[in-house]
């Protein structure tokens, strides 16, 4: 099977009949971004859109860069070429669905997460745990010792677990703007990296509450610096991730799997109350309620399992998604 990475392959013509389904997929991705500890990239993986979205976003970024710095075929012509390679019939519906989710479901999800935390974490724990199978199914043929694979997974899992454990740290009331810029550039990468939650990264560096307060109080200077950092981080990281999936596919997918495993730290249903309403608490043994969070975890796992089966059956060759033989 030839290399089908998003960085090197033109997008096939997409049937318009998939428009409602892509809207729904975007809606699910947007809902995931509203949930602390859950990454929208995870949902994109499960619904089979991940690499297509990364590829399309990479073309948009390339078009913007070409307009700024020029290229072999001129700025405008080069930018138009990149934009024509973008799968707009996928990208636009997904973005619209994400926007609708944020507008319509923010209050509902907030009430669910804060009003029934054990139930919410149980449901999402099952979903994310089952989702770990998705990048593992996409692995190409192994090119280096198994111990290297294991170290990549364990290292990424430990990193995610540790960062989440630090997420209840002290809030920085008046951070320097360079810190805000850098934190935004990193946190926005949670949009495209499965297993990484941007909200928990901001918690770890002490900027989560500060950022929410800045938005609430309309602190335009803070918001502008944060937005600039986010755009810079996303523009840089999308192309880097596209390159990694092309050149180091197996290693990248293994790291993604490890990050998803480590993110389960945030989703253990039974936790002590954190110092504030946002950060994760210390993990404790199950306490009442036990039955319903457990059942919801099984339900979440079953939902993702069904999605994986449906996606596999809709693929021409589901067992060979990542047959690229590069590392």
Give the confidence band of 5 by pLDDT, cuts at 50, 70, 90: very low
Q: Which residues of 37-72 are buried (b: 16+ CB within 10 A; e: fewer)?
A: bbbbbbbbbbbbbbbbbbbbbbbbbbbebbeeeebe
The Cα–Cα gap between 220 and 213 comes to 12
The Cα–Cα gap between 58 and 45 comes to 17
All residues at 6 or more sequence positions from 85 whose CB lies less than 8 Å from its CB, including other chains? 10, 11, 59
The Cα–Cα gap between 262 and 254 comes to 12
Task: Say whether pLDDT at 165 is over 80.
Answer: no
| Helix/strand/coil for 71 | coil
The Cα–Cα gap between 295 and 123 comes to 8
Task: Say whether pLDDT at 94 is over 60.
Answer: yes
Of the candidates 34, 20, 36, 55, the one whose C-alpha atom is nearest the C-alpha of residue 192 is 55
Mean pLDDT lowest among 158-167, 258-267, 299-308, 309-318: 309-318
Are the C-beta atoms of residues 200 and 267 closer than 8 Å to each other? no
**What's CA 37's distance to the chain center, in Å?**
10
The Cα–Cα gap between 274 and 311 comes to 38
Give the pLDDT of residue 254: 94
| Other beta carbons less than 10 A from residue 307's beta carbon | 20
Give the confidence band of 251 by pLDDT, cuts at 50, 70, 90: very high
Domain ranges of the chain: 16-320
Are the C-beta atoms of residues 186 and 31 closer than 8 Å to each other? no
What is the tens place of the pLDDT at every residue in 107-158? 677 678 778 889 988 998 998 899 899 899 888 888 778 899 999 999 999 9
Mean pLDDT lowest among 63-77, 106-120, 178-192, 272-286: 272-286
Partner residues linked to 283 by β-bridges: 271
Per the model's pLDDT, the better-predicted residue between 10 and 27 turns out to be 27
Of the candidates 32, 25, 187, 191, the one whose C-alpha atom is nearest the C-alpha of residue 102 is 32
The pTM score is 0.73
Task: Say whether pLDDT at 319 is over 60.
Answer: no
Are the C-beta atoms of residues 225 and 183 closer than 8 Å to each other? no
Give the confidence band of 270 by pLDDT, cuts at 50, 70, 90: very high
Give the pLDDT of residue 14: 60
Q: Helix-strand-coil percent breakdown of the chain, rounded to 5?
A: 70, 0, 30
User: Mean pLDDT over residues 36-51, rounded?
Assistant: 79
Of the candidates 281, 253, 304, 238, the one whose C-alpha atom is nearest the C-alpha of residue 43 is 304
Are the C-beta atoms of residues 256 and 193 closer than 8 Å to each other? yes
User: Mean pLDDT over residues 295-323, rounded?
Assistant: 73
């Amino acid at each position: 099977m030839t290399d089908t990475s998003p960085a090197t392959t033109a997008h096939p013509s997409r049937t318009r009949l998939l428009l409602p389904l892509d809207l729904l997929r975007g809606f699910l991705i947007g809902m995931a971004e509203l949930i602390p500890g859950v990454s929208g990239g995870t949902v994109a993986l499960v619904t089979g859109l991940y690499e297509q979205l990364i590829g399309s976003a990479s073309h948009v970024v390339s078009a913007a860069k070409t307009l700024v710095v020029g290229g072999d075929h001129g700025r405008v012509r080069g930018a138009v070429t990149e934009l024509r390679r973008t799968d707009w019939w996928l990208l636009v519906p997904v973005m619209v669905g994400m926007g609708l989710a944020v507008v319509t479901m923010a209050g509902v999800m907030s009430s669910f997460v804060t009003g029934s935390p054990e139930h919410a974490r149980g449901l999402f724990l099952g979903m994310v745990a089952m989702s770990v199978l998705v990048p593992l199914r996409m692995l190409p043929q192994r090119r280096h010792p198994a111990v290297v694979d294991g170290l990549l997974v364990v290292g990424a899992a430990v990193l995610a677990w540790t960062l989440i454990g630090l997420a209840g740290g002290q809030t920085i009331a008046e951070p320097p703007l360079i810190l805000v810029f850098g934190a935004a550039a990193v946190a926005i990468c949670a949009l495209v990296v499965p297993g990484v939650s941007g909200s928990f990264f901001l918690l770890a560096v002490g900027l989560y509450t500060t950022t929410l307060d800045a938005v609430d109080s309309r602190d335009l200077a803070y918001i502008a610096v944060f937005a600039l950092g986010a755009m810079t981080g996303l523009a840089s990281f999308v192309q880097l991730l596209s390159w990694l999936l092309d050149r180091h596919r197996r290693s990248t997918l293994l790291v993604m799997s490890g990050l998803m495993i480590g993110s389960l730290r945030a989703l253990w249903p039974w936790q002590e109350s954190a110092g504030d309403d946002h950060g994760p608490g210390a993990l404790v043994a199950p306490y009442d309620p036990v039955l319903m969070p457990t059942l919801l975890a099984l339900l979440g796992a079953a939902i993702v399992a069904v999605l994986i089966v449906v996606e596999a059956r809709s693929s021409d060759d589901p067992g060979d998604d990542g047959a690229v033989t590069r590392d």
